Amino acid sequence: MKPITAVPLGLVAAGAAGLGYSVLETRWFALRRATVPVLPPGSRQLKVLHLSDAHMRPSQHRKQDWLRGLAALEPDLVVNTGDNFAHLEAAPAILAAYGDLLDVPGVFVFGSNDYFAPVRKNPAKYLTGGTGTATEGDWRRPATLPFDALRAAFTERGWVDLNNRHGELTVDGRRLSFVGVDDPHLERDVLDTAPADVDADLAIGVAHAPYLRVLDQWNSLGYPLILAGHTHGGQLRVPGFGALVTNCDLDRKRARGLHTHRVEGHEPSWMHVSAGLGTSPYAPVRFACRPEATLLTLTGIDSAGLSA
């Protein structure tokens, strides 16, 4: 019997160890860094802290403390690409976690988990759901989360609401122009045809979910930098293979990190996709995909190189 049972028992032990590790990894937060040459030649650097997919619950004190500590990086700009909630009563914890970062110039858009509380579902559907686009019935139902209160709290501290809006900020003496959309995953995005502001020091597109229709539009309109989240970096990654899914129509190879996006006939845009800080409470695992925030150092286009 030993030759027959040894392999299954070994597989069970390996599976249990992998599951245990994937739960622990959700609390192993990482600060990523990348350099993006997008500013006018000779410009001083700008530090941009990209936060996404916090999926906060009131009990997640470790995550809250780690997030609060990011203020020590002294970023010039904070970009929040949505999915802040994972609990109906998480708003105070979210605001406490962002802490002093709310005093830094910032912009934000919302994701589906700013409008709708997570629901219990079969996790396997995430792996077999294709692009993951929500159905019309999903996004037309009444919101269950206090997104308006969170919006008010952000804007009262000076963060700019970019949900289907344009905006601008003066950051370290530079004029930054923004375009944003409400969550493309819920098909709430309203894309206009206004070209990027070429008189600004930098024009940035901000979305929660990096659907190709949004990326294509902003690249064709001349936005040099696009920031998004939503993918969780795949959440479960296979070493040597990468993300299994992106939960949108973005290809797996660009599920996280700094890449470019280009429509034929246009110069490429830099695109940063955050793997995010959280998970659904009903799928609280990550594998080979640590929860993250990213500090992007923007430099003049005469600068070279990037760091991972």
Residue 175: the pLDDT is 98
Q: Which residues of the chain have pLDDT under 50?
A: 1-2, 4-5, 11-15, 136-137, 305-308
Question: Does 13 fall in a domain?
Answer: yes
Tell me, yes or no, whether 139 lies in a domain: yes
What are the tokens at 208?
A: 């929660």
* pLDDT, tens only, 169-181: 999 999 999 999 9
Distance, in Å, from the CA atom of 209 to the CA atom of 228, rounded to the nearest integer, reads 6
How high is the pLDDT of residue 120?
Answer: 78
C-alpha dist (Å) from residue 144 to 86, 100, 115, 133, 138: 11, 28, 6, 19, 12
Instruction: Report if residue 242 sits inside a domain.
Output: yes
Identify residue 266 by its one-letter amino acid code.
H
Residue 63 lies in a domain: yes
CATH number of the domain to which 239 belongs: 3.60.21.10
pLDDT, residue 13, reads: 47
Buried-exposed string 202-221: b where 16+ CB fall within 10 A, e elsewhere: bbbbbbbbbbeebbbbbbbb
Encoded tokens for 11 = 């597989």
Q: What is the DSSP string of 231-255?
A: SGGGSBEETTTEES--SSSS-GGGS
Residue 105 belongs to a domain? yes
Our count of domains for the chain comes to 1
Does 307 reside within a domain?
Answer: no
In a domain, 306, yes or no: no
Residue 127 pLDDT = 60
Residue 230: predicted pLDDT? 98
Within a domain: 305: no
Report the pLDDT value the prediction gives residue 12, as an integer from 0 to 100. Answer: 41
Strand (E) positions, 40-173?
46-51, 77-80, 106-108, 160-161, 166-171
What domain range is 266 assigned to? 2-300
DSSP H/E element including 272: strand 269-273
